[in-house]
């Protein structure tokens, strides 16, 4: 591996690490739960990118398999979190509908 490629990969890993720190801050300081889901997805994507760059840097193939598994787990995590939010929102709407029905019955 040439010296230019070595330096480029090290700089790319550093920048991705910095972006991951910013995404972690966004996940912690985000106001809405959906902001936290987007930040978690971004952290997973950046992690996969770092694993692939590390595989190229070390010249190994088996690390790519680890990156593939990590990408699948990150995808499943986002799907589960989105399903959780969807259930939470639909339960909130049902709760509002129930209270509206109870108010209407109380008026009659």
Indicate the average pLDDT of the chain.
85
* Closest residue by Cα to residue 81 from 30, 18, 8: 30
Write down the pTM of the prediction.
0.75
Q: Which residue has the higher pLDDT, 52 or 97?
A: 52
Span 14-60, pLDDT tens digits: 999 999 999 999 989 988 888 888 898 999 999 999 999 999 989 88
Q: Which long-range contacts (CB under 8 A, 24 or more apart) does 16-22 make?
A: 16/46, 16/49, 16/50, 16/53, 17/50, 19/46, 20/46, 20/47, 20/50
């Amino acid at each position: 591996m040439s010296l230019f490629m070595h330096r480029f990969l090290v700089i790319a890993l550093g920048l991705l690490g910095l972006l991951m720190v910013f995404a972690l801050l966004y996940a912690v300081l985000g106001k809405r739960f959906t902001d936290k889901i987007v930040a978690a997805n971004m952290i997973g994507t950046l992690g996969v990118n770092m694993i692939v760059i590390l595989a190229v840097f070390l010249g190994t193939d088996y690390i790519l398999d680890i990156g593939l598994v990590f990408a699948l787990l990150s995808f499943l995590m986002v799907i589960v979190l989105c399903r959780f939010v969807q259930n939470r929102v639909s339960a909130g709407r049902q709760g509002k509908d129930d209270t509206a029905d109870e108010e209407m019955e109380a008026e009659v």
